[in-house]
């Protein structure tokens, strides 16, 4: 275990909104978090000015968003999508750019706040570029921190950039920690819905389908995180994310299953007080918290009606039926490059599951086998540079692809 990560204590708060629009970029604007962000920006045009929007392949939606918000630039990672993007933006004065370097350069444009909502380790370089520009980063892309957390937090520190957590649990914990003494924090609890398979037996879990796994009980999200929730790898990734974001040792965090997804995170203090943040399960609340920080802004989210919900329930996680949680906890405990390998192997396994190449139960097996094979590389040192992080990520993916190739069922 590496010790606590130093906090970016000197990073300045965003100035309060004083009537001057904030410059905002959205990386991954066409995804689930991206579209929720765009929805909020469209409702408050006087409050935000859009700099850059980025996507992977969806040129039609990217152009529509850029036109609706009058963005400066729209950048798409897939070079073959440039013609369509440029045609749709012709005559608007909005720049069109393509290729992964164009996405990174768009992310580097100065803003007041940049929302990092690309999925997977593909978000690492654009998010680092945003941090290097000095922007406040509203971070949804948890895989950045799992892949290269120490490097990521150091980059934020070095450039005086603040990171505001968008991920609902981390946003809740951030709110419950704000204004309190870090030395008096006894425990930080991440809640987990338990996913669509929370009550399934081991035997039933061997037969679950892709369609079932894609049906999250409470949240509407992109495919990758929805599968991660079904295996509880999402909670494992979130433990690693929380360790880096908040700088507490791994032992200070715990996971509590809460099927209603109303209590998003809790902080217990040394005097026994437990502070929590509650809200309807709608990502527009944590996104708005980041966009308006340190103010609050109104959102079109259904008000929480606890009387209608009636009961909030809690139970411990089951690491036997959901081994991905155990694997992520072990990788966090090991530190160094283990979480990078965990993330890469999980991305490959989830993608193979979504392509019907492996069963749901094999996702954990592929991650475990990849971690075992990578042990020989000695993972005790975490990647010290971006090149080292990308290199380890590439190697682990190759190994995971081989493991998938040897998987049956």
Ligand X SMILES: NC(=O)C1=CN([C@@H]2O[C@H](COP(=O)(O)OP(=O)(O)OC[C@H]3O[C@@H](n4cnc5c(N)ncnc54)[C@H](OP(=O)(O)O)[C@@H]3O)[C@@H](O)[C@H]2O)C=CC1
Interaction site with ligand DXP (CB under 6 A):
167-169, 192-193, 195, 219, 225, 229, 234-235, 283
168 known member of a binding site: yes
264 known member of a binding site: no
CB of 239 to ligand DXP, least distance (A): 11
Task: Determine the number of helices (DSSP H) and then strands (DSSP E) in the chain.
Answer: 17, 11
| Nearest CB to Mn ion, comparing residues 239 and 348 | 239
CB of 195 to ligand DXP, least distance (A): 5
Residue 368's binding partner among Mn ion, ligand X, ligand DXP, none (Cβ under 5 to 8 angstroms by kind) is none
Using CA atoms, how far apart are residues 49 and 24, in angstroms rounded to an integer?
6
Residue 141's binding partner among ligand DXP, ligand X, Mn ion, none (Cβ under 5 to 8 angstroms by kind) is ligand X
CB of 203 to ligand X, least distance (A): 29
143 known member of a binding site: yes
The two beta strands, 185-192 and 263-269, are antiparallel
| Nearest CB to ligand X, comparing residues 112 and 241 | 241
Residue 193's binding partner among ligand DXP, ligand X, Mn ion, none (Cβ under 5 to 8 angstroms by kind) is ligand DXP
| Nearest CB to ligand DXP, comparing residues 193 and 334 | 193
Provide long-range contacts, Cβ within 8 A and 24+ apart, for 268-276. Answer: 268/185, 268/186, 268/187, 268/188, 268/189, 269/180, 269/184, 269/185, 269/186, 270/184, 270/185, 270/186, 271/184, 275/176, 275/180, 276/172, 276/176
C-beta of residue 360 within 8 angstroms of C-beta of residue 230 = yes
CB of 27 to ligand X, least distance (A): 7
Give the closest residue to 127 by CA, choosing from 166, 95, 84.
166
Phi, then psi, of 162 in degrees rounded to 5: -95, 145
Give the closest residue to 103 by CA, choosing from 78, 81, 139.
78
| Nearest CB to ligand X, comparing residues 32 and 230 | 32
Instruction: Say how many C-beta atoms besides its own lie within 10 A of residue 355's C-beta.
Output: 10
Q: Among 125, 167, 228, 329, which residue interacts with Mn ion (rule: CB under 5 A)?
A: 167
Is the bond preceding residue 122 a cis peptide, omega within 30 degrees? no
CB of 135 to ligand DXP, least distance (A): 22
235 known member of a binding site: yes
User: Closest residue to ligand X, Cβ-based?
Assistant: 31
DSSP code for 248: -
C-beta of residue 4 within 8 angstroms of C-beta of residue 91 = no
CB of 248 to ligand X, least distance (A): 20
DSSP labels, 131-154:
HHTT-EEEE--THHHHHHHHHHHH
Residue 336's binding partner among Mn ion, ligand DXP, ligand X, none (Cβ under 5 to 8 angstroms by kind) is none
Using CA atoms, how far apart are residues 198 and 275, in angstroms rounded to an integer?
26
Q: How many residues are listed for the chain in this entry? A: 409
| Nearest CB to ligand DXP, comparing residues 276 and 388 | 276
Enclosing H/E stretch for 116? strand 113-116
335 known member of a binding site: no
Binding site for ligand X (CB under 6 A): 28-34, 55-58, 77, 103, 117-119, 122, 140-143, 167, 219, 221-222, 224-225, 283
| Nearest CB to ligand X, comparing residues 25 and 32 | 32
| Nearest CB to ligand X, comparing residues 260 and 407 | 260
282 makes contact with Mn ion (CB under 5 A): no
Annotated binding-site residues for 1-deoxy-D-xylulose 5-phosphate read 142, 168-169, 193, 216, 229, 234-235, 238
């Amino acid at each position: 275990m590496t010790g606590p990560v130093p906090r970016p204590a000197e990073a300045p708060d965003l100035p309060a909104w004083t009537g001057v629009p904030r410059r905002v970029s959205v990386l991954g604007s066409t995804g689930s978090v991206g579209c929720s962000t765009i929805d909020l920006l469209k409702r408050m045009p006087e409050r935000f000015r859009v700099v850059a929007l980025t996507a992977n392949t969806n040129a039609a939606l990217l152009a529509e968003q850029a036109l609706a918000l009058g963005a400066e630039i729209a950048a798409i990672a897939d070079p073959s999508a440039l013609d369509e993007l440029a045609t749709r933006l012709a005559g608007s004065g909005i720049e069109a750019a393509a290729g992964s370097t164009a996405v990174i350069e768009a992310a580097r444009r100065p803003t007041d706040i940049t929302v990092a909502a690309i999925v997977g380790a593909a978000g690492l370089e654009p998010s680092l570029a945003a941090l290097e520009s000095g922007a406040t980063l509203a971070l949804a892309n948890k895989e950045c921190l799992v892949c290269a957390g120490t490097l990521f937090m150091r980059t934020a520190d070095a450039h005086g950039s603040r990171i505001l957590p968008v991920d609902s649990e981390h946003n809740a914990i951030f709110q419950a920690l704000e204004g309190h003494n870090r030395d008096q924090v006894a425990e930080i609890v991440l809640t987990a819905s338990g996913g669509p398979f929370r009550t399934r037996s081991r035997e039933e879990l061997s037969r679950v389908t892709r369609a079932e796994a894609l049906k999250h009980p409470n949240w509407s999200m992109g495919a990758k995180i929805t599968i991660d929730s079904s295996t509880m790898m999402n909670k494992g990734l979130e433990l690693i994310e929380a360790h880096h974001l908040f700088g507490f040792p791994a032992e200070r965090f715990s996971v509590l299953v809460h099927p209603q997804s109303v209590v998003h995170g809790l902080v217990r203090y040394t005097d026994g007080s437990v502070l929590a943040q509650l809200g309807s399960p709608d990502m527009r609340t944590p996104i708005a918290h980041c966009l308006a920080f340190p103010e609050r802004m109104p959102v079109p989210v259904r008000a929480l009606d606890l009387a209608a919900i009636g009961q909030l329930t809690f139970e411990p996680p089951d690491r036997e039926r959901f081994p991905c949680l155990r694997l992520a906890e072990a990788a966090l405990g090991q530190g160094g490059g283990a979480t990078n390998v965990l993330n890469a192997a999980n991305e490959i396994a989830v993608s193979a599951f979504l392509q019907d190449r492996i069963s749901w139960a094999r996702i954990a097996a592929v991650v475990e086998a990849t971690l075992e094979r990578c042990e020989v590389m000695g993972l005790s040192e975490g990647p010290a540079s971006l090149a080292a992080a990308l290199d380890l990520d590439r190697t682990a993916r190759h190994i995971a692809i081989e493991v998938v190739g040897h998987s049956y069922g």
